[in-house]
A and B are shown apart, each in its own frame.
Chain A
Amino acid sequence: MYLPNQNEFFIDPARCIGCEACVQACSECDTHKGHAMIHLEHVDRGQSTQTVPVVCMHCESPTCAEVCPADAIKKTDDGVVQSARKPRCVACNNCVLACPFGVPKMITDFELMMKCDLCYDRTSAGKKPMCASVCPSGALYFGPRAQIEQLRPRSTPVNKFQFGRQTVATKVHMMAPKGPAKAQYVDVTDAMNETGRGQRISLDILSTMYVSEEQP
């Protein structure tokens, strides 16, 4: 039994280990076997092992649907933004270019935009989406909000993202570290200019050690 009000989707990038179990499992989903609808990003492998799983955020006002010239992308009543409808999709790539999160994929073999639909076949049967079922580190989580808030007291779920002057509200939540003030939204443009502070400290230790070894 699908309980849309109870189970929600949360992404916790601090927990991602980059293993790609989510991507590999996505391609096992019965409705799109052999094709993963999600992907994994290395933020900057040269500087960090930080990775981020990219699943569809299911926007309240989906940019992908707004830019679609063929009106092929629909959001269903449960708030899930679906893959383009085959009879309508003209494979123009507008959605792929416009999505602020970089989610939709053009499957050239099918001339069709396909994307994460939150595993409708599984969630409608009371199961978790494939990626959130397998994720070994809890970076992808599907369950009641009260439960994740209890399990992750150091973070707070956020579903508003600021891209310049555009604010995007989403069905899927991102776990943001709890700061002095409760995070209201993630400023994506600002975040792009941030450097990982925790990482730097360790790296400075490494470089100092090397220098000291070279100067006996």
Chain B
Amino acid sequence: MASQPVLDLPIIEKFGPHRNYSNGLLLESGVEPDKLVKTHCCFCGMQCGIQLKVKDDQVIGFEPWEEFPFNQGMLCPKGVKRYLQGAHPDRLLKAYQRDPDAPAGFRVLAYEDAIQRVAEEIQKVQTTYGPDSFAVFGGASLTTEKAYLLGKFARMGLKTSNIDYNGRLCMVSAAAANKKAFGIDRAANPWADILKAEVIWIAGANIAECFPILTNYIWQARENGAKIIVVDPRITPIARTCDLFLPVKPGRDIALFNGILHLMIEKDWLDHDFIANHTVGFAAVAEHVKEWTPRRTAEVTGIAEGSIRKAAQWWGTAKSSFLMHARGIEHHTHGVQNCLGAINIVLASGRIGREGCGYATITGQGNGQGGREHGQKCDQLPGGRDIENPEHRVHAAKVWGISPDELPRAGVDVYEMFQRIERGEIRGLLNICFNPVVSLPHNAYIKWMLERLKFFVTIDFFMSETARYADIVLPGSLHEEDEGIVTTAEGRVVKINAAVSCPGDARQDWRIIQDIARALGREKGFTFANPREIFEELRVASAGGIADYSGITYEKIEKEMGVFWPCPSEDHPGTPRLFEPGSSNPIAKGNGPFYFPDGKARFNVAPYTPPAEDVDDEFPVILTTGRVVSQYLSGTQTRRIGPLVDQYPEPLIEMHPQLADRHYIKDGDWVRIEGRRGICTLRAKIVTTIRPDTIFVPYHWGGGKSINQVTIAAQDPISKIPEYKVCAVRILRQYGPPANATGLEPQQ
């Protein structure tokens, strides 16, 4: 019975989100901290180094960590204020059980009783409906140790094939494309290569707001003479001073890449030696892009033909370059094709695997990279191995001390798991580090599906919008309460260090997973005493795989300020730049730089298809979504940090004055966005920095403020990423606030 026990308001009143501000000890001057703990930010994939000030087992502030090479003390506002998530009034200090008769719908339960109840319910569901009827959701903010343990727990402890994670809504399109083209899923270059590039191509990445510190690299390259090309439907802060802005119509990125390749071929701006010696498949791609003349590209993308020609010339004739993209081209029903198109123009230029010649997806989540390598993905085993590959199954089973036959087969992605709930194939769910009620598209469907579950347990440190649907909520750990590794977006493995202990009955997440295993009577393989022991097993499990961590130790990470994988032995220095001659590559074994047996990269034909839901007379406006700098993902943490809420309190609808004028909408007016799946009423922000045919709304809020009430759940057929970046809507001016706006604070 996984429905909200009572209405939103009483739950919000007790569990928040409430805004936390500095007070008491945190405002006093001259407080000498007991210690400064060197660690990393708990938010995005940049993983900036930061020192946390600790006094009396509480994080009281931060001090810049200027020695850490990536950010050298720099931080964005989220990193500066992240310490306010600790000692928070909303923090879950006890286990809770759903109880409609309790004042806020939940009553306190002793931790051990909660674990027992979870184990009993898992057994009940699995005994009645089979092992696959119980599913597990993970997340890419977990340390790699936790992600690894969760994958092992699902496959070996629960014997279910149904595990997947919130990275499914993040960068899976890029991951799939990278595997198809390069045979490996990792940023090809360290960020330092940006500084040496002549041309930097940024496609669908609001870098200044989502990865603020990367701005400094790009703008320093510009000072050094680099030309910056930005492709985006909005003039984001990074686009404001770029050298060439291509205001692409949302959903048309692949057309642009094909058009650029067409011009590169026509003008012979190609690296013929590289194409001949290090790639396969160019001829088919060249044939395919013949039809993508500049005129056709301009018609489809909405970009002026002259700009397309100029971009092709800059890109085609550069000596060094860096192409980067993020969710803007990945969140599409053809997200994989978009990324393949981007890779095609990189491969045709031959500018990869060298200093100053780079390509990367900018992974969004803190451990978006490490969290997708070691087995919480539905089709994956540790070390980036494939759960359907017999040799890979043997390796993982051996490390875990089981027979390969006992390993479940590949499961399905997060969204399809909801469809399995609908079909009654999944009856129970364990969720950690994931807030699908806010973060998945068409979220009314997500709520209905949660309500169909027989049993739903969630591990979290705050009562997230999703946790409100749980039968049992177990109090997990904050980032600063545990140690472990994460891998940054550039492939650098760094160490998170514990600053404080877990308060109340809260436990480190890996302990909770092991407690459940023990209560199930399946403790074999789940008796780790600390994250280091988990990491040591992970090293062995990853050895020989593509994501090889076997040569990385906690000590080596601390000493060298991070180690880039692959790192196959303790005397190996790590691999900051992939695809260099002679770099570690267990697949090509010396045949070439890329991760295929012949060592060659693959060109892939990337056909253009329009978005799943294109605009029409009924719904004539394109809706696209994204982030703002002061909030992070579903806002479970950042909507509880007062100064961050105050910086950008509520979602606004960015729209162009040309569009606003047609609807008599003025800045600050309430506007209802109507789509085929839902509506959302918010205030308008009239700006000339967006395409007139497109509106933008950030997605970090829940309830009536959630734009994911409107977005479409159509998925990429390969990566299964939902199409957050395009759906069709209409807009209507309102003459007052919606009912949901009253009685709630902006963050609620």
Contact = CB atoms under 8 A, between A and B. Distances in A.
A15 interface: yes
A209 B223 contact: no
B658 A137 contact: no
Contacts of A208: 304
A208 B686 CA distance: 18
Nearest to B304: A205
B643 interface: yes
B74 A136 contact: yes
B80 A21 contact: yes
A98 B240 CA distance: 32
A207 B692 CA distance: 7
17 contacts: A17-B212, A17-B215, A17-B629, A19-B209, A19-B630, A24-B80, A24-B81, A33-B22, A46-B688, A47-B689, A134-B74, A135-B74, A137-B216, A152-B223, A206-B247, A206-B691, A210-B656
B208 interface: yes
A49 B64 contact: no
Contact of B219 (A31, A45, A137): A137
Contacts of A198: 240-241
B280 interface: no
B77 interface: yes
A138 B22 CA distance: 27
Nearest to A134: B75
Interface in A15-59: 15-21, 23-25, 27-28, 30-31, 33-34, 45-51
A21 B647 CA distance: 10
A47 B247 contact: no
Interface string B39-83: 000000000000000000000011010100001011111011100
Interface string A154-178: 1000000000000000000000000
Given A19-B629, A199-B235, A134 B219 contact: no
Contact of A48 (B81, B240, B304, B685): B240
Contacts of A3: none
A48 B22 contact: no
Contacts of B29: 30-31, 33
A50 B22 CA distance: 30
Contacts of A154: 223
The 6 closest A-B CB pairs, nearest first, are A17-B208, A136-B212, A210-B692, A17-B237, A137-B215, A24-B77
A46 B686 contact: yes
A151 B74 contact: no
B501 interface: no
A30 B27 CA distance: 8
Interface in A166-203: 198-199, 202-203
Interface residues of B, number: 59
A133 interface: yes
Given A138-B216, A209-B693, 20 more contacts: A15-B215, A18-B629, A20-B629, A20-B647, A23-B77, A24-B647, A28-B62, A30-B30, A34-B21, A45-B685, A47-B689, A48-B689, A134-B76, A137-B208, A205-B245, A205-B304, A207-B692, A209-B692, A210-B656, A213-B302
B95 to A, nearest CB: 34
Given A20-B630, A30-B29, A203 B302 contact: no
A25 B247 contact: no
Contacts of A21: 74-77, 79-80, 212
> How many A residues are at the interface, by size bracket?
35 or more
A153 B235 CA distance: 25
Among B213, B215, B656, max chain A CB count under 10 A is at B215
A114 B686 CA distance: 34
B215 A28 contact: no
Contacts of B302: 209, 213
B26 interface: yes
B693 A210 contact: yes
B692 A206 contact: yes
Interface string B613-650: 00000000000000001100000000000011001000
Nearest to B306: A205
Contacts of B66: 133
Nearest to B53: A28
A124 to B, nearest CB: 14
Contacts of A51: 237
Contacts of B212: 17, 19, 21, 136-137
Among A23, A46, A153, max chain B CB count under 10 A is at A46
Contacts of A99: none
Contacts of B21: 34
Nearest to A27: B643
Contact of A45 (B73, B208, B687): B687
Contacts of A153: 223
B693 A213 contact: yes
B307 interface: yes
A49 B241 CA distance: 10
A89 B220 CA distance: 43
A72 interface: no
Contact of B73 (A46, A134, A152): A134
Contact of A25 (B80, B235, B689): B80
Given A21-B80, A137-B212, A46 B687 contact: yes
Contact of B22 (A17, A34, A210): A34
Contacts of A202: 235, 239, 245, 247
A91 to B, nearest CB: 21
A205 B216 contact: no
Nearest to A155: B223
B416 interface: no
Among B245, B686, B689, max chain A CB count under 10 A is at B689
A136 B690 CA distance: 24
B396 to A, nearest CB: 40
A67 interface: no
A111 B223 CA distance: 45
Contacts of B647: 20, 24
Contacts of A199: 235, 240
Interface string A125-159: 00010000111111000000000000111100000
Interface in B210-266: 212-213, 215-216, 219-220, 223, 235-241, 245, 247
A28 B687 CA distance: 32
A136 to B, nearest CB: 4
Contact of B26 (A17, A33, A128, A213): A33
B533 interface: no
A106 interface: no
A134 B64 CA distance: 7
A133 B71 CA distance: 10
Interface in A90-117: none
A31 B657 CA distance: 44
Nearest to B238: A17
A128 B65 CA distance: 12
B667 interface: yes
B688 A203 contact: yes
A34 B27 contact: yes
A15 B74 contact: no
A135 B235 CA distance: 21
Contacts of B73: 128, 133-134
Contact of B247 (A14, A135, A209, A213): A209
A31 B66 CA distance: 21
B405 interface: no
A20 to B, nearest CB: 5
B367 to A, nearest CB: 20
Nearest to B222: A154
Nearest to A137: B215
B596 to A, nearest CB: 38
Interface string B1-40: 0000000000000000000011000111110000000000
Contacts of B28: 33
A21 B241 CA distance: 20
B151 to A, nearest CB: 34
Nearest to B237: A17
B192 to A, nearest CB: 15
A203 B80 CA distance: 34
Contacts of A209: 247, 302, 304, 691-693
